[in-house]
Amino acid sequence: MLPSIILAIAGAKLAGKQGNRKVMINWTWVCIIWNVLFIIFIMVVPEKGASSMGIPLVIFFLLMLGNNAFKMVVSTATGAMRMDVVDYELYRSGHYLPATVSAVYSFIDKMISALAPMIATLVIGIVGYTGSRIPQASDELTIGIRIITAALFCGLPLLGWALTLVAMKKFSLTREKMEEVQASIASQK
């Protein structure tokens, strides 16, 4: 938790210096690379490796710690970018719409979050857990379970980050543009 908080603060400072767009793009790439490493770890670690003391457990701990911390930087940039959109809309149209921007973001976030249990249930069924049978910690670790774990835990976020990078190609609110926008808004007050 502490590394996540520290990186969230550092990410906010970076966003102030470099701009939200640049921080979002750079740290999204960090998340992508980190999760590819996590997928490799999931696929090659021995069956009991991450649950017993030793190097695999330390690697797993560091991968989880980094994963959560790096995602926090992207989350911090996302929140700040919403405010950039609000400011830009005020600059562009004269309409101050923070509630609208937040509602659209919240709707999309909740819609995607609502799909998570359905996707997880579908994938668990594909691996062979049907009826009232659910995965247990004592179950044999098959290649199918490893693939499903990697796909759900790392693959779906990777898809989201890839879509983020595509969206950032069209996002024109750089640090310089936001300085112009904020100066214009300040002069109108």
**For the segment 108-156, what is each residue's pLDDT rounded down to a tens digit?**
999 989 998 899 888 888 888 877 777 787 788 788 888 888 999 999 9
Residues 6+ apart with CB under 8 A from 119: 152, 156
Per-residue confidence in pLDDT tens, the chain, 189 aa? 787 888 888 888 888 888 889 999 999 999 999 999 999 998 988 776 666 678 888 898 999 999 999 999 999 888 889 999 999 999 999 899 999 999 999 999 999 899 988 998 888 888 888 777 777 877 887 888 888 889 999 999 999 999 999 999 999 888 899 989 999 988 887
> How many of the other CB atoms lie within 10 Å of CB of 28?
22
Query: Which is nearest to 42 in space by CA: 30, 50, 51, 52?
Result: 50
Residues 6+ apart with CB under 8 A from 18: 26, 175
* pLDDT at residue 102, rounded to an integer: 92
* pLDDT at residue 48, rounded to an integer: 67
Question: What is the token pair recorded at 133?
Answer: 């049978």
* pLDDT at residue 4, rounded to an integer: 80
Torsion angle, alpha carbons of 162, 168, 169, 175, to 10: -150
* pLDDT at residue 49, rounded to an integer: 61
* pLDDT at residue 51, rounded to an integer: 65
Alpha carbon distance 28, 20 (integer Å): 12
CB burial string 111-123: b at 16+ within 10 A, e below = eeeeeeeeeeeeb
98-127 vs 55-93: helix crossing angle, rounded to 10: 150
For all residues of the chain together, what is the average pLDDT? 88
- Give SS3 for 125: helix
